[in-house]
Copies of this chain bind each other. A is one copy, B any other.
Amino acid sequence: MFDKSTYSNRRKALKTKGLTGIALILGNMEAPMNYRDNTYHFRQDSNFLYFFGLDFPGLAGIVDFDSGEDFIFGNDVDIEDIIWMGPQVTLQENAAKAGITNTAPFAKVFDLVKAAKDAGRKVHFLPPYRAENKLLLENLLGTSAQSINTHASLDLIKAVISLREVKEAQEVEEIKKACATGYQMHVAAMKMALPGNWEQKIAGTIEGIALAGGGMTSFPIILSMNGETLHNHDHSQILQEGRLMLCDAGAESLLHYASDFTRTTPVGGKFTQKQREIYEIVLAANNTATALSKPGVTYLSVHLAACEVLAAGLKDLGLMKGDVKEAVKNGAHAMFLPHGLGHMMGLDVHDMEDLGQIYVGYDDEVRPVDQFGTAYLRMGKRLKPGYVITNEPGCYFIPALIDKWQAEGINKDFINFDKVNEYRDFGGIRLEDDILITETGAEIIGERVPITPEEIEAVVAKG
């Protein structure tokens, strides 16, 4: 945990956002794998971590906007259980670490919520994503679990985002630790990018590096020769010479801050000419995006600038044609790059995703764009110092998408489909760094994972 003043200050800041009533912030419970007592690694809810810091199951927190008081609810371990569990810290001692003196057994949260409701006070809560907490909220509030998310508090959502989106210096330090583990993971994966290796063996090995570092992976690892399949969690293939291995993976720090890197390595360690040409374009798009990112600039404009670098490069190779700016305006680049440039990152790898992309990545000024490709950009609004964002351009050759666009003549003025079809078996390249917006620009967080073709080839060669 951070120092207790961290959590007190965050709750204090939340109380300045003009809300009344109470905010009920539920911790997570254990998540069963294949029977009740066989559980996954415990992952605390990120909002609970942010305001209360305590990293174990069975807790709920309340912030009272009217009285200014804070509460933590949870159960102390039974004296009999100490035989099995060893000496335990009391809830009161734990709560003190979060700067809280008001504690009570978990069941008391029902009384406090009921009293608030009976008094006609508003009970704010954030949208639950685990069914256990949906059922708990049903019990607490009398609102059906099936429809509970529609009753989440938009005022609380916006207040929480306004705090969590700007990272404290100590949060950036935690992200740096996650990045250091991510660095090790990616270098290990590169070294294993050899013909005959099983994708799952590599993915499992680097997940082990995350776990040995003390955290989990920050999201399910993507590691595949089919980098063009964007939603790909299959690791069943055996690596083949001449293909590319795309690896998108990150770790959590001990305090559950994320890292998220992507690197693409030629199986066997040597880029072909064709691979290197595309690779250099994606790398240029990545470097351009970091160079352009600074306070006051919209990340939507950075996204579009990166797309222009991509389109210009593909035009030089004869894969695209016509005016580059017009091509990007028409979304022609999106056949090669159908996703967004990046997303906020913090306690969640897609930070605060379940609070709503529309509130996290956009605002009243910068609105989401309704065009294939840019529509998937998770983060578009103006950058501020303290934002942590991923920068992850890519270039993919997706046969189903190529066929669809060619058949329907989509953007045929900007794409040379004949040439594109020579790349059908290419796969995909993505290059992702995590960047911090500073007062004057942006910096890559932590030591940059090897990224130039020469660096990548050297890592594999060193083995």
Contact B211 A204 (CB under 8 A): yes
Number of copies: 2
Q: A193 an interface residue at 8 Å Cβ cutoff?
A: no
Q: How far is the CA of A338 from the CA of B212 in the complex (A)?
A: 31
Contact B204 A214 (CB under 8 A): yes
Q: How far is the CA of A212 from the CA of B84 in the complex (A)?
A: 32
* Contact code string A196-234 (vs B, CB < 8 Å = 1, else 0): 001011111111111111101001100000100111100
Inside 8 A of A216's CB, which chain B residues have their CB?
A: 33
Contact A132 B131 (CB under 8 A): yes
CB-contact partner of A207 in B81, B87, B211, B398, under 8 A? B211
Contact B401 A129 (CB under 8 A): no
Total contacting residues, chain A, CB less than 8 A: 66
Ordered by A's residue number, 5 sampled pairs between the chains whose C-beta atoms are within 8 Å are A34-B256, A37-B353, A130-B131, A205-B208, A205-B212
Q: How far is the CA of A212 from the CA of B198 in the complex (A)?
A: 9
CB-contact partner of A220 in B41, B201, B209, B214, under 8 A? B41
Q: A90 an interface residue at 8 Å Cβ cutoff?
A: no
Contact B40 A31 (CB under 8 A): yes
Contact B86 A232 (CB under 8 A): yes
Q: How far is the CA of A404 from the CA of B81 in the complex (A)?
A: 13
Q: A348 an interface residue at 8 Å Cβ cutoff?
A: yes
Contact B200 A204 (CB under 8 A): no
Q: Closest Cβ of chain B: how far from A230's Cβ, in Å?
A: 5
Contact B214 A38 (CB under 8 A): no
Q: How far is the CA of A145 from the CA of B398 in the complex (A)?
A: 43
Q: Closest Cβ of chain B: how far from A305's Cβ, in Å?
A: 25
State the A residues within 8 Å of B (CB).
31-41, 43, 45-46, 81-87, 129-132, 134-135, 139, 145-146, 198, 200-214, 216, 219-220, 226, 229-232, 256, 338, 347-350, 353-354, 398, 400-401, 404
Q: How far is the CA of A41 from the CA of B398 in the complex (A)?
A: 26
Q: Closest Cβ of chain B: how far from A22's Cβ, in Å?
A: 23
Q: How far is the CA of A338 from the CA of B146 in the complex (A)?
A: 43
Contact A38 B219 (CB under 8 A): yes
Q: How far is the CA of A87 from the CA of B403 in the complex (A)?
A: 13
Contact A135 B129 (CB under 8 A): no
Contact B41 A45 (CB under 8 A): no
Q: Closest Cβ of chain B: how far from A349's Cβ, in Å?
A: 7
Inside 8 A of A204's CB, which chain B residues have their CB?
A: 208-214
Report the nearest B residue to A402, measured CB to CB: B83
Q: Closest Cβ of chain B: how far from A98's Cβ, in Å?
A: 19
